[in-house]
């Protein structure tokens, strides 16, 4: 759409929708089927995963993992891009598995004091979730964001159930 800016050395996948005033700094990588709302900014060297959604006015300064929805002045994870997944033909079973994995990784309950890396390992080793390709892809996307010379993922709120 209008007034978008894609800076030098960006890599843009297929079937993306960039709303008005989407600004991508240099060396940003955007995978496939990403949707942005208006007036968003993505910091240089960030990676935006497939099927993700960036809410209007967001400033993205860290990676957005696959299938995630982020928003806010300093973008935070807000959950899965459920509507985008439905529209792209993900099955109910795949979406349910992604939702369960997301909850186990990001919604730590106070009764479960496991660290972030331990929660990722637990989901990866889960008998059911570990066999779902979309879940494996999401975990790989998260782990890749912590690789050398990467920025980590957008912040997420710890959920305590209260």
Catalytic residue annotation: 8-9, 26
Tokens of 74: 């300093």
Rounded-to-integer distance, Cα 35 and Cα 116, Å: 27
Please tell me the distance from the alpha carbon of residue 62 to that of residue 148, in angstroms, as a whole number: 14
Instruction: Give the closest residue to 99 by CA, choosing from 118, 79, 116.
Output: 79
C-alpha pair distances (Å), 44 with each of 6, 30, 49, 57, 140: 11, 12, 15, 17, 21
Residue 134 CB partners (closer than 8 Å, separation 6+):
67, 90, 94, 97, 98
- Give the H or E element holding residue 79: strand 76-80
């Amino acid at each position: 759409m209008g007034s978008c800016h894609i800076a030098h050395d960006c890599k843009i996948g297929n079937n993306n929708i960039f709303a008005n005033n989407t600004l991508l700094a240099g060396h940003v990588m955007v995978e496939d089927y990403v949707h942005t709302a208006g007036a968003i900014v993505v910091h240089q060297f960030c990676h935006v995963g497939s099927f993700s959604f960036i809410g209007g006015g967001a400033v993205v300064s860290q990676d957005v993992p696959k299938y995630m929805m982020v928003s806010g002045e300093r973008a935070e994870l807000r959950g899965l891009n459920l509507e985008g997944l439905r529209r792209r033909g993900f099955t109910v079973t795949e979406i349910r598995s992604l939702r369960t994995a997301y909850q186990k990784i990001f919604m730590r309950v106070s009764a479960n004091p496991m660290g972030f890396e331990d929660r990722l390992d637990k989901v990866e080793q889960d008998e059911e979730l570990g066999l779902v390709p979309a879940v494996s892809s999401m975990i790989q996307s998260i782990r890749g964001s912590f690789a050398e010379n990467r920025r980590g993922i957008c912040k997420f709120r710890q959920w305590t159930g209260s």
